[in-house]
């Protein structure tokens, strides 16, 4: 049973526009949510995280929104750049000892068109 779901395998956006990547989860006990970016044949790199007690976290062009009642989070990238083209993974974890076990979604491939 997938606890973290990214229902859109791919997304195409024009350069300069907003990219919105979505993620749904089923476990209401998750305390932390993270977004990672991955280029082909490389390891993922951390982008941004959010605690379950917040509804928004911003870092430069990247903003993550959390809607706990809907068990939904989204990553906004504004403005989108060609270098943002990559696979984006949403991940979630519990707190304490449970924080060692991140649960990842299947990823969304973002293509930013120049």
Partner 1 sequence: DGGITQSPKYLFRKEGQNVTLSCEQNLNHDAMYWYRQDPGQGLRLIYYSQIVNDFQKGDIAEGYSVSREKKESFPLTVTSAQKNPTAFYLCASSNRDYPGANVLTFGAGSRLTVL
Q: Does position 106 bind partner 1 by CB under 8 A?
A: yes
Specify the long-range contacts of residues 93-102, CB closer than 8 Å, at least 24 apart.
Answer: 93/30, 93/31, 93/32, 93/34, 94/29, 94/30, 94/31, 94/32, 95/31, 95/32, 99/31, 99/32, 102/34
Q: Toward partner 1, which CB reaches closer, 49 or 79? A: 49
Restricting to residues 38-57, which ones interact with partner 1 according to CB under 8 A? 41-46, 49-51
User: Residue 102 corresponds to which tokens in the numbers above?
Assistant: 């991140």
Restricting to residues 8-37, which ones interact with partner 1 according to CB under 8 A? 9, 32-34, 36
Chain residues binding partner 1 by CB under 8 A are 4, 6, 9, 32-34, 36, 41-46, 49-51, 89, 91, 93, 95, 99-102, 104-107
């Amino acid at each position: 049973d997938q606890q973290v779901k990214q229902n859109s395998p791919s997304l195409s956006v024009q350069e300069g526009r907003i990219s919105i990547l979505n993620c749904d989860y089923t476990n209401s006990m998750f305390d932390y949510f993270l977004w990672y970016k991955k280029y082909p044949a490389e390891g993922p790199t951390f982008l941004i995280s959010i605690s379950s007690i917040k509804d928004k976290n911003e870092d430069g062009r990247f903003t993550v929104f959390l809607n706990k009642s809907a068990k939904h989070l989204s990553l906004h990238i504004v403005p989108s750049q060609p270098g943002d083209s990559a696979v984006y993974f949403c991940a979630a974890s519990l707190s304490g000892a449970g924080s060692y076990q991140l649960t990842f979604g299947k990823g969304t491939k973002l293509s930013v068109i120049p």
